């Protein structure tokens, strides 16, 4: 069976950012399942300008937007790794998400939230799920919250607590369940 293509949108562009550690960790664990082709889509590299209009209403999109759209369109599911800023998600993430719409249709979305505090970014989780609902995606019930990221992950993206291996396995297991179910239904409709 072909692996599922699941890109990871990395929603932090902050100087000295910690969230890439979590994105790298998840990408590696996704690959290790042997069932997922994972790729990190780093918003710092795409550097999209402020969204003036959605891609499907524009014939002059900024550089990188069409390429990003093609990756979302090809995706069987999507993972978002986002830091929590002021109880919400970063503006750069919302700006990027707003460029697209048809690309998300009925795609399972797994959300990993990252914070330097004790709560693991769960206050932005609920808000981001609502955004993804509105975009026509299917946010999954499981999540991957990472508190005190600066202590809990080393620079290579290895967790210092075994707990994260367990919760990543459970999070990715749920994501695969929904990805399989949605992909099978889409195949039946073809």
Ligand X SMILES: Cc1cc2nc3c(=O)[nH]c(=O)nc-3n(C[C@H](O)[C@H](O)[C@H](O)COP(=O)(O)O)c2cc1C
Name the site residues for ligand X (rule: CB under 6 A).
12, 14, 17-19, 83-87, 114-117, 119, 121, 149
Residue of this chain nearest to ligand X (CB atom): 83
* Nearest distance from C-beta of residue 129 to ligand X, angstroms: 17
| Residue linked to tokens 């300008």 | 49
Return the number of the residue (61 or 121) whose C-beta is nearest ligand X. Answer: 121
Question: Coil, strand, or helix at residue 179?
Answer: helix
* Nearest distance from C-beta of residue 39 to ligand X, angstroms: 19
Closest CA to 168 of 54, 52, 45, 32: 32
Return the number of the residue (53 or 151) whose C-beta is nearest ligand X. Answer: 151
**Cα–Cα distance, 19 to 118 (Å, whole number):** 15
* Nearest distance from C-beta of residue 99 to ligand X, angstroms: 21
Return the number of the residue (62 or 88) whose C-beta is nearest ligand X. Answer: 88
Return the number of the residue (153 or 178) whose C-beta is nearest ligand X. Answer: 153
47-53 contacts: CB < 8 A, separation 24 or more?
A: 47/13, 48/95, 48/96, 48/99, 50/95, 51/95, 51/96, 51/98, 51/99
* Nearest distance from C-beta of residue 55 to ligand X, angstroms: 26
């Amino acid at each position: 069976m072909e692996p599922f293509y699941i890109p990871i949108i990395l929603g932090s562009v902050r100087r000295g950012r910690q969230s890439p550690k979590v994105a790298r960790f998840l990408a590696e664990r996704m690959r290790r399942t042997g069932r997922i082709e994972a790729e990190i889509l780093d918003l710092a590299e795409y550097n999209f300008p402020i969204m003036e209009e959605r891609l499907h209403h524009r014939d002059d999109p900024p550089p990188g937007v069409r390429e990003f759209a093609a990756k979302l369109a090809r995706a069987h599911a999507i993972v978002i790794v986002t830091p929590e800023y002021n109880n919400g998600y970063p503006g750069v993430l919302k700006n990027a998400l707003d460029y697209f719409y048809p690309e998300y249709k009925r795609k399972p979305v797994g959300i990993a939230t990252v914070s330097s505090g004790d709560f693991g970014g769960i206050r932005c989780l609920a808000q981001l799920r609502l955004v993804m609902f509105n975009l026509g995606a299917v946010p999954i019930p499981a999540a991957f919250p990472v508190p005190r990221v600066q202590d809990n992950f080393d620079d290579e993206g290895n967790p210092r607590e075994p707990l994260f291996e367990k919760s990543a396995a459970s999070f990715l297991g749920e994501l695969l369940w929904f990805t399989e179910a949605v992909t099978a239904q889409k195949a039946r409709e073809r």
